[in-house]
């Protein structure tokens, strides 16, 4: 067989084994298990690889090394012949030839048999690994006698060094596996039933809930309805009637010193003084994970907590409903603001309340507004970028967005018009 053909086949073989290795580790293991239960042959083979990872990887490495050895052996003479035809003879010492052979052959194999295949195979890992599942299984069977010896020797070495036998690897599905699978399902079922979409969204919210902080759930300080502890009871009753809330927060001297809350049931038909009716509430930092607060609220039979910032000042208020909404979606409760404005004028222009969250806008309208931990709302995004309270009717250009401030209330933005910069 022509040596050039053997070299090309060796490079292709090395690229194949390198790509299959990265595709195997990048593939969603949960998807494999689900497809196996559906009876797919490729999934059964891949699940076998998952159950015998060391043997499968041993086969891949054996095949890759064999291809590289063949490539290195044959390509050296070709490089010698090429160099002798273009480089003066006085520069062609044995050392220089060896150095040139090593550099040229290594660069070529790294680019075409390592970097490129791994990039491509990783992008389409599941489709590629399933397509090549049967060919790889044939190779696995051919190399199995050699692989079993190599794996056995490596496990013996582990026993000799660690003093214990290597434990059987159990496949554990992580949040990323589940998230990737749900994302794939949502793409496939993009035109499906609304109930299915809602279920998918709920699963995605449950996965992301692990990373949510309390500050992303809370009602901000500026929207807290609170009264002083020295206020007349009738004032508190009027506040309850006016707002329609079932609870009113009570503070001492200022809102940064919240001491508890009173419930509407305690205010009417009760002769107790205000201080006897004040119920304690949790005080938690804004950086606390929402899942931890949820556990505390349920464990302590509480439904409301005060959120404080790093300086101890009141940052906001969070209820049990606010946290649960992050999983199941919107729940109408007494603290929800149903006056949010969300109006689409055309594809390039929108009128929005500043309190609307950025992740909601990005998901619904594909705005692609940058998201960070420093802000969660469209108003917070503007304040973060300009570093001040804007003026009413002021026009602000941030990246591809043109914001017109339609309404400002004291120290906060209320209403904006968003327009895309052409």
DSSP 352: E
Fold of domain 342-420: 3.30.465
* Structure confidence by residue, pLDDT tens digits, 242-267: 777 778 899 998 999 999 998 877 77
Fold of domain 214-328: CBS-domain (3.10.580)
40: alpha, beta or left? (left if phi > 0; alpha if psi -120 to 50): beta
Question: Considering the entire predicted model, what is its pTM?
Answer: 0.48
pLDDT by residue, tens only, the chain of 422 residues: 688 899 999 999 999 999 999 999 888 777 787 788 888 899 899 989 988 888 999 999 999 999 999 998 898 888 877 777 676 666 667 777 788 888 988 999 999 999 999 999 998 888 899 999 999 999 999 999 999 998 888 888 878 887 655 555 555 455 555 555 555 555 555 544 444 555 556 666 666 677 788 888 888 888 888 999 888 888 888 887 777 777 889 999 899 999 999 887 777 666 677 788 888 889 999 989 888 988 888 888 888 999 999 888 999 999 888 888 776 665 555 455 445 788 888 888 999 988 888 888 988 888 999 988 778 889 889 988 888 888 888 999 999 999 999 988 767 788 899 998 76
pLDDT of amino acid 364: 87
Question: What is the rounded radius of gyration, in angstroms, for the C-alpha atoms of the chain?
Answer: 32
pLDDT of amino acid 169: 54
Q: What is the DSSP string of 43-85?
A: HHHHHHHHHTHHHHHHHHHHHHHHHHHHHHHHHHHHHHHHHHH
pLDDT of amino acid 174: 54
Closest CA relative to residue 24, chosen from 116, 131, 115, 174: 131
User: What distance in Å separates the CA atoms of residue 411 and residue 413, rounded to the nearest whole number?
Assistant: 7
């Amino acid at each position: 067989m022509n040596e050039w053909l053997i070299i090309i086949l060796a490079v292709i073989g090395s690229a194949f084994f390198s790509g299959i290795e990265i595709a195997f580790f990048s593939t969603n293991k949960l998807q494999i298990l689900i497809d196996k239960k559906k009876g797919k042959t490729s999934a059964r083979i891949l699940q076998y690889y998952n159950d015998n990872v060391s043997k499968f990887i041993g086969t891949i490495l054996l095949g890759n090394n064999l291809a590289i050895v063949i490539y290195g052996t044959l390509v050296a003479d070709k490089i010698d012949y090429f160099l002798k035809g273009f480089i003066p003879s006085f520069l062609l010492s044995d050392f220089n030839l060896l150095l040139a052979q090593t550099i040229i052959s290594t660069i070529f194999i790294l680019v075409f048999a390592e970097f490129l295949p791994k990039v491509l195979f990783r992008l389409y890992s599941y489709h590629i690994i399933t397509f090549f599942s049967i060919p790889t299984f044939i190779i696995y069977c051919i190399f199995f006698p050699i692989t079993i010896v190599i794996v056995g020797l490596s496990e013996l070495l582990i026993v000799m060094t660690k003093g214990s036998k290597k434990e059987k690897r159990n496949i554990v599905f992580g949040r990323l596996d589940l998230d990737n699978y749900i994302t794939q399902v949502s793409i496939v079922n993009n035109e499906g039933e609304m109930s299915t979409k809602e279920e998918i969204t709920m699963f995605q919210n449950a996965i992301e809930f692990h990373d949510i902080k309390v500050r992303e759930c809370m009602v901000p300080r500026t929207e807290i309805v609170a009264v002083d502890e020295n206020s007349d009871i009738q004032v508190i009753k009027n506040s309850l009637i006016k707002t329609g809330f079932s609870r009113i927060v009570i503070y001492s001297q200022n809102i940064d010193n919240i001491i508890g809350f009173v419930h509407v049931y305690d205010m009417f038909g009760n002769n107790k003084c205000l201080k006897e009716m004040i119920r304690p509430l949790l005080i938690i930092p804004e950086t606390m994970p929402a899942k931890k607060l949820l556990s505390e609220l349920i464990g302590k039979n509480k439904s409301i907590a005060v959120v404080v910032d790093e300086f101890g000042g009141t940052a906001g208020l969070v209820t049990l409903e606010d946290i649960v909404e992050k999983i199941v979606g919107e729940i109408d409760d007494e603290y929800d603001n149903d006056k949010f404005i969300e109006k689409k004028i055309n594809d390039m222009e929108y009128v929005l309340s500043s309190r609307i969250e950025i992740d909601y806008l990005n998901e619904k309208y594909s705005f692609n507004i940058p998201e960070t931990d420093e802000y969660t709302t469209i108003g917070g995004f503007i304040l973060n970028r300009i570093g001040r309270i804007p003026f009413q009717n002021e026009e602000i250009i941030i990246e591809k967005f043109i914001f017109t401030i339609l309404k400002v209330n004291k120290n906060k933005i209320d209403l904006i018009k968003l327009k895309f910069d052409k």
